[in-house]
Chain A
Amino acid sequence: GENVEQHPSTLSVQEGDSAVIKCTYSDSASNYFPWYKQELGKRPQLIIDIRSNVGEKKDQRIAVTLNKTAKHFSLHITETQPEDSAVYFCAPYGRDSNYQLIWGAGTKLIIKP
């Protein structure tokens, strides 16, 4: 089945700096690549997603880039703010996972004031 890994597991950045989280996957048939944000004690929420026919997608301070050849996609957050502190999950899906999202273990992002 699909194997999903996120790196790093914890990321601490100074407020205003950029943060990058990488997600690698094993299923070459994966065609949908979302990122979810989960604040402490809250439910996960979709923040950005990308499909396999697109290499990059941007929404204000966040962006996702996809490298299908290397089988990884990354979340980029620029000008980080305190409210960006959360756990971020990637959850690609594809044929091998019976079209269910397979969740990474999460990356805890800490924004230092």
Chain B
Amino acid sequence: NAGVTQTPKFRILKIGQSMTLQCAQDMNHNYMYWYRQDPGMGLKLIYYSVGAGITDKGEVPNGYNVSRSTTEDFPLRLELAAPSQTSVYFCASSYNVNEQYFGPGTRLTVT
């Protein structure tokens, strides 16, 4: 099992550009999450999904969008990137609302 995979590992965006961060899991988990982690800080929940076709906002959803068309994939879309979106993005999945398994992260810089 690959667990939770994320692509890309690193990305530099110019202000106003858009991109999609990919996340996939092969553990058949219903729950999937997107977090951002700013330097020296804890994790902030952006969006989460409790199953295919169902998504909901977390604590900091502004500037992001998600979709969940399959159990395995949960992409995060950034529209009109801003410097405030410079962060490390982690995708995670869980069988229920218990242990979360994290991907390796995507380090995004917006300049």
Contacts and interface: CB of A to CB of B under 8 A. Distances in A.
Interface in A90-106: 91, 93, 98-101, 103-106
Nearest to A9: B40
Interface string A20-37: 000000000000101000
A71 B8 CA distance: 40
A9 B102 CA distance: 23
A99 B94 CA distance: 13
Interface in A42-60: 42-46, 49
Interface in B9-46: 33, 41-45
Interface string B41-78: 11111001000000010100000000000000000000
A73 interface: no
A105 B97 contact: no
Given A43-B90, A89-B43, A100-B48, 20 more contacts: A42-B104, A44-B43, A44-B90, A44-B100, A44-B102, A45-B102, A46-B99, A46-B100, A49-B99, A89-B42, A91-B43, A93-B97, A98-B56, A100-B58, A101-B45, A101-B97, A103-B44, A103-B45, A105-B42, A106-B42
A46 B100 CA distance: 7
Contacts of B42: 89, 103-106
A99 B99 contact: no
B84 interface: no
Interface string B87-111: 0001000000111101111000000
